[in-house]
């Protein structure tokens, strides 16, 4: 495992982090806690030292699993979690006042609840789970972040950017009031590289790249006949003719790369880490097998420049979350 500085924080985090949405157990179905705990422990054994979870993942269930494993680990593991919007709307809606999304009391209450779930002395990174530029001048989030940091309950603060809206946090970053951003970045969605990543490098903001495998599209395992358990998030994400679209785009990608489906996940993860603004990539790891593949990849160095140029032509402008 190689390590990178998480922006202006003093955190040295593994290039491969652990995305803990899937182990929450409500939207990603088919797993169990025993398997989730085995995956967490194996990832840490392989050098993962950053776990990204959220209060909304299984109504705190993901946090409780993460906290249990982190407490039993003899060395430092950084834990990032998130404050859910009070109105429970993802992404944030334009024009909705912050009083309905992140009032001061809600942020403080959620931070305390996350600490109780994790059973840790402090949260290493607390993030707002959505963002709207209309929140920028509000006192609520600023005051809450400042007080939580002063109290020692939170060490660093950041924002998880709305799906496919990297430009929405540009002015927020310029305030100097946050330490990190978390954003969708993968071969299909390369938009953060246009404006967001250069600004993050200039302002020394840590970047967590989420959805590096596009919810499974870039694993090479999505076929037109793929099915998911009723109620599973992927049933929604890949609804209608979307699986057919994915198959077509992946086939074109594999042809241009000259690789088979078995090499695609490695290429996708290395693509994310090829950008110098990215501090860590946080794929989901619901099983021990996922952990061993993601955290155990040999030479997670950047892809060759000619390959990156080829991949730039595979950017795909669409939003499957809507």
Single pTM value for the model: 0.96
**Does residue 320 fall inside a structural domain?**
no
Q: How far is CA 121 from CA 69, 84, 127, 303, in A?
A: 15, 21, 17, 39
Give the CATH number for residue 289. 3.20.20.100
**Does residue 317 fall inside a structural domain?**
no
**Does residue 322 fall inside a structural domain?**
no
Residue by residue, pLDDT tens for the chain (322 residues) are 999 999 999 899 999 999 999 888 766 655 689 999 999 999 999 999 999 999 999 999 999 999 999 999 999 999 999 999 999 999 999 999 999 999 999 999 999 999 999 999 999 999 999 999 999 999 999 999 999 999 999 999 999 999 999 999 999 999 999 999 999 999 999 999 999 999 999 999 999 999 999 999 999 899 999 999 888 889 999 999 999 999 999 999 999 999 888 899 999 999 999 999 999 999 999 899 999 999 887 666 789 999 999 999 999 999 999 8
DSSP state of 304: P
Domain of 216, in residue numbers: 3-312
**Does residue 137 fall inside a structural domain?**
yes
**Does residue 227 fall inside a structural domain?**
yes
Q: What is the CA radius of gyration of the chain?
A: 19
59 burial class (0-12, 13-18, 19+ CB within 10 angstroms)? middle
Total number of domains in the chain: 1
**Does residue 321 fall inside a structural domain?**
no
Nearest Cα to 288, choosing from 122, 72, 41?
41
């Amino acid at each position: 495992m190689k390590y990178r500085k998480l922006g202006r924080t003093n955190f040295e985090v593994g290039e491969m982090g652990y995305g803990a949405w899937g182990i929450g157990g409500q939207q990603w179905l088919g797993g169990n806690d025993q398997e989730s705990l085995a995956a967490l422990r194996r990832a840490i054994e392989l050098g993962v030292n950053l776990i990204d979870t959220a209060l909304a993942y299984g109504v705190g269930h993901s946090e409780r699993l993460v906290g249990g494993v982190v407490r039993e680990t003899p060395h430092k593991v950084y834990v990032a979690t998130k404050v859910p919007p009070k109105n429970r709307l993802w992404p944030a809606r334009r024009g909705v006042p912050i009083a309905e999304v992140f009032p001061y009391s809600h942020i403080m209450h959620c931070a305390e609840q996350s600490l109780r779930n994790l059973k840790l002395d402090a949260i290493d990174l607390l993030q707002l789970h959505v963002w709207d530029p209309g929140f920028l001048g509000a006192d609520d989030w600023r005051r809450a972040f400042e007080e939580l940091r002063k109290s020692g309950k939170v060490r660093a603060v950041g924002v998880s950017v709305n799906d496919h809206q990297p430009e929405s946090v540009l002015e927020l970053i310029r305030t100097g009031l946050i330490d990190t951003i978390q954003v969708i970045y993968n071969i299909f969605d390369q938009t953060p590289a246009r404006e967001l990543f250069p600004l993050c490098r200039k302002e020394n903001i840590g970047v967590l790249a989420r959805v590096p495998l596009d919810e499974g599209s870039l694993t090479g395992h999505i076929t037109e006949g793929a099915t998911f358990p009723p109620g599973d998030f992927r049933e929604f994400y890949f609804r209608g003719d979307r699986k057919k679209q994915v198959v077509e785009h992946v086939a074109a990608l594999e042809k241009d790369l000259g690789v088979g489906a078995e090499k695609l996940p490695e290429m996708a993860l290395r693509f994310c880490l090829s950008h110098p603004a990215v501090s860590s990539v946080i794929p989901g790891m619901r099983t021990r097998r996922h952990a061993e593949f993601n955290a155990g990849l040999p030479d997670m160095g950047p892809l060759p420049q000619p390959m990156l140029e080829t991949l730039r032509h595979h950017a795909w402008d669409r939003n499957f979350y809507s």
